[in-house]
Structure 1
């Protein structure tokens, strides 16, 4: 899997555990949603824990765990299935400040929208990374540096920029 952040392919510092794998004592690990409760109980409070969830997950299923999580990865089973975007917005509205990752079959054309919904990183399969290289992801990020949506894109919305310019 290729990981994209700020329009560039980067090394993934997290390790995804299989459900049958034992919990390590340290490191940055990602567990499945069914394994989350046990992992929170078993790991020390300072451990770096992430969870991977289906895009059909109810935000309330994560609410109590969000303060202890460093990463939430939302699965996108197909590029045409946008439920993960809505889930990301709801998780950010619930106060999650950690890394929010879109994982699955996303296209570079969807990158700006993913950033606008609160995603920090996008994880795509290797076959997709071969067809859409780093330059396409960087171009997609640069083409839409701002949006009309108020949200999570660092430079702010188009409307906020207009208000600031008018105030000068």
Structure 2
């Protein structure tokens, strides 16, 4: 079972409706009680234009911790007006948590193995993501 990381700690996944691949959204979401979309790291987020209000959760894939395209996707989705839950899934490590939050993610989904290698205290060290960015540190030095 995967672990959900938020600013409050590790939690079990509370989403119980399943996920729809972004290209299948139009045909699969018609009668769904809640809609969650899986978005690949190489997807163009504009395929969701005009549909964002009907989506409750978007899960962006991170195939590798060295692949930062998901951060750009999150930012673009927020700029497009998506106000629902935004989740990073896959190979996101504790060192990237602050960046994930600043990019617009609400939560990160990791596997149990990573949660054991990088326990909550390592994620918590980055949970105060709003004050530990470059611009804030730069302003403090002036």
Q: Same fold judged by TM-score > 0.5? A: yes
**Any stretches of 5+ residues in structure 1 without a counterpart?**
16-27, 150-156, 163-168
Q: Relative contact order: is structure 1 or structure 2 higher (C-alpha 8 Å, sep ≥ 6)?
A: 2
- Counterpart in 1 of 2:3? 2
The whole-number CA distance in structure 1 between the counterparts of 2:30 and 2:8 is: 36
Counting matched residue pairs gives 138
- Across the aligned residues of Structure 1 and Structure 2, the Cα RMSD in angstroms comes to 2.1
Q: What are the residue-to-residue correspondences of 1:8-47 with 2, within 5 Å?
A: 8-15=9-16, 28-43=17-32, 47=33
The whole-number CA distance in structure 1 between the counterparts of 2:119 and 2:18 is: 27
TM-score by length of 2: 0.87
TM-score by length of 1: 0.75
Aligned pair partner of 2:130 in 139, 145, 148: 145
**Any stretches of 5+ residues in structure 2 without a counterpart?**
none
Structure 1 counterpart SS, 2:50: coil
Q: How much does 1:59 deviate?
A: 1.3
In terms of Rg, which structure is larger? 1
- Counterpart in 1 of 2:120? 134
Contact 2:59 2:89 in 1 (8 A): yes
Contact 2:102 2:130 in 1 (8 A): no
The whole-number CA distance in structure 2 between the counterparts of 1:29 and 1:121 is: 17
